[in-house]
Amino acid sequence: MKITIRKANEKDFFAILSLVKELATFEKALEKVTNSVEQMKNEKDFFQCYVAENDKNEIVGMALYFFAYYTWVGKSLYLDDLYVKESYRGKKIGTKLLKKIFKIAKKENCKRVRWQVLNWNKSAIEMYEKSGADIDDEWSNCDFDENGIKEFNL
């Protein structure tokens, strides 16, 4: 089976959003996905994505990222989602996507690559540790959803 890693385009947004929803289902949080293809089109300048495509032109994986700035180190790449369809796992597709992300980070002179992994996702943690990632269990996420942003009041 031949897998091609290529830069995503607007025509891929439906497939990308489907993968995002598969990932959210895997993470037991599908109800939190509020994004849409239309929203992705409107906000396409804020993210970039690479997809893994099989020889039938089916998108079977993706790595969606954006550039961020962290005060301690400077320009960084934040990998928001790395996902491979379940039936395609174990074929090094996730590794290929991760290699692409690091190639981009090097080319863009990033000082850090960061992403999150759920503490119960043991297979992902093993892959990340195998690649040399430092997995931090000290920091906690702080999130406000759209409604929380509107209602924020100290």
Residue of 50, 65, 83, 128 with catalytic role: 128
Residue 4: helix, strand or coil by DSSP?
A: strand
Q: How many CB atoms lie within 10 A of CB 122?
A: 10
Place of tokens 């290929």: 96
Q: Based on the residue annotation, tell me whether 50 is a catalytic residue of this protein.
A: no
Torsion, Cα 107 112 113 118, to 10 degrees, reads 180
Phi–psi pair at 3, nearest 5 degrees: -120, 130
Classify each residue of 37-60 as buried b or exposed e, where b means 16 or more C-beta atoms within 10 Å of its C-beta: eeebeeeeeebbbbbbbbeeeebb
CB-side neighbour CA atoms (13 Å) of 3: 19
Catalytic site positions = 128
